[in-house]
Amino acid sequence: MKITVENLSYIYAPGTPFEKAALRDINFTIESGDFVGLIGHSGSGKSTLVQHLNGLVKPTDGTIRIGERVITGKHADTKGLCFTVGLVFQYPEQQLFAETIYQDIAFGPSNMGLSPAEIDLRVRTAMDLVGLSPDLMEKSPFSISGGQKRRVAIAGVLAMEPKVLILDEPTAGLDPKGRDEILNSIRKIHKQMDMTVILVSHSMEDVAKYCDKLLVLNEGEVVLSGTLAEVFHHADTLTDIGLSVPQVTLAVHKLREKGIEIAENVFTVSEAISAIMKLRG
């Protein structure tokens, strides 16, 4: 589903000493089926921005369109929006509450008013998508490991079968294995369910590996946007705002500066390997 954001601004706590312009004149378009990485420092407004997209936060100014729906302004059409735009919060395992994993994942679908049979089907599909074994269904969500809890929480959003899936730092605090597993699941879901995915992250390596397009946020403003190649071309701008390009990309840039004719747009280790192999003929 296409997402259009025009002149979006958000002022936090206006009229108090805590007042702060969290977002300033944000403009971007995300095409249907894109896998977009939203990167920026902590405090750059990433989380605030994504909460606008499912109607949880109302902008101070500006327009947001999700597909054909305008979700801002006086005639905002936000009914059931959270079922269309699924948002997985940071540390989503902290919102688990039900007695069993099954009930927790079923919370979203039952709020949609679906039939028990449909709910059952969706819970099972969602558990399968995130790689949770069906044996866990009747277990308490508080008795499983941190990585599994996070999968349960993601499944809870997936079970609503949203058209747009937004994940706010889904890998924060996970070990490398857990991180790869979660991100691989998300890639699989993106392909299988034909969802538009927005991945909020500050790991350049992660977004380089999984996303097609990037949106870079700094102090509430969009500083760069476009394909991986377009964004990573501006290595200096990224460094200026305290971010960086992936380390392999940096290494390849250095090699090119030394006059080695290696392919330019290399963002992952496996791409680097094939580029080097090509050099050797």
Least separation, in Å, of the C-beta of 17 and other proteins?
6
- Quick one: CA torsion of 199, 205, 208, 209, rounded to 10 degrees? -90
**Among 27-35, 83-91, 203-211, 224-232, the segment contacting other proteins (CB under 8 A):** 83-91
Q: Residue 110 has which token pair?
A: 């039952």
Indicate which single residue of 5, 71, 82, 199 sits in contact with other proteins (rule: CB under 8 A).
Answer: 82
Indicate which single residue of 157, 164, 200, 241 sits in contact with other proteins (rule: CB under 8 A).
Answer: 157
CA distances (Å), origin 1, targets 80, 166, 183, 257: 15, 12, 21, 41
Cβ-based nearer residue to other proteins, 15 or 281: 15
Nearest to 92 by CA among 22, 18, 198, 166: 166
Helix (H) or strand (E) segment spanning residue 112: none
Cα–Cα dist 34/192, whole Å: 13
User: Counting contacts by CB under 8 A, is residue 269 touching other proteins?
Assistant: no
Number of residues that bind other proteins (CB under 8 A): 27
User: What angle is formed at CA 162 by the lines to CA 160 and CA 166, rounded to 5 degrees?
Assistant: 115
What's the chain's length in residues?
Answer: 281
User: Counting contacts by CB under 8 A, is residue 27 touching other proteins?
Assistant: no
User: What angle is formed at CA 62 by the lines to CA 58 and CA 64, rounded to 5 degrees?
Assistant: 70
User: Counting contacts by CB under 8 A, is residue 40 touching other proteins?
Assistant: no
Cβ-based nearer residue to other proteins, 40 or 109: 109
User: Counting contacts by CB under 8 A, is residue 15 touching other proteins?
Assistant: yes
CA 123 from chain center: how many Å? Answer: 21
Of residues 87-126, those binding other proteins (CB under 8 A)? 87, 89, 92, 94-98, 107-108, 111-112
Least separation, in Å, of the C-beta of 247 and other proteins?
33
Q: Note the residues at the interface with other proteins (CB under 8 A).
A: 13, 15-17, 51, 54, 56, 80, 82-83, 86-87, 89, 92, 94-98, 107-108, 111-112, 142, 156-157, 160
